Amino acid sequence: IPYAGTRLVTLTKEDVRQIYIARTALEPIAAKYACEKITDQEIRHLSEIQEEYKRIVRGKELDAVEVYQQNRLYHFSIYKASQLDRICVMIDNLSFFKLIYGQKLLDSEESREKMIAEHQSYLDALKRRDSELIYRLLQQNLKSRAENIPYYSDVYFHENA
């Protein structure tokens, strides 16, 4: 039956490289436009999401799915404010990879605090309506992620796909 059931996606290193090229092109642009259009109410809501994210990430029992969902809510609350609906759909189509790789980003207290600080820097840029800053921050963070993907891990990649 078409469009039914579950499909396992197999990624190669080249697939991941291309995902990050696309994300680095799309996400900073969406955030930049969001910064220009976001309302005070949306910023307050984003602050609440950030507080819940901190609570989850700093918790004793880290649930990867819960972290993923809260992180997704945070980022898509920003992107939605851009009012760039087609770009948001494209970003959404690329976001499945975050569930897999996201666990690696939270494997130490230091990396967890770094993720919280990154989120806070985006929130601060939005509060100041500094669209150039949020663009640079997202672009730098995505480039850093792309350079630090654990390519050695068979968990993530299948070269004969």
pLDDT of residue 24: 94
Q: What is the pLDDT of residues 17-59, one digit of tens each?
A: 888 899 999 999 999 999 999 999 999 999 999 999 999 999 9
Banded model confidence at residue 65, pLDDT cuts 50, 70, 90 = confident
Q: Whole-prediction pTM value?
A: 0.83
pLDDT of residue 135: 98
> What is residue 157's DSSP assignment?
-
The Cα–Cα gap between 132 and 28 comes to 9
> In the predicted model, is pLDDT for residue 157 greater than 50?
no
> In the predicted model, is pLDDT for residue 161 greater than 50?
no
The Cα–Cα gap between 125 and 15 comes to 31
Tell me what percent of the chain is helix, strand and coil, each rounded to the nearest 5. Answer: 75, 0, 25
Query: What is the average per-residue pLDDT within 92-112?
Result: 71
pLDDT of residue 132: 98
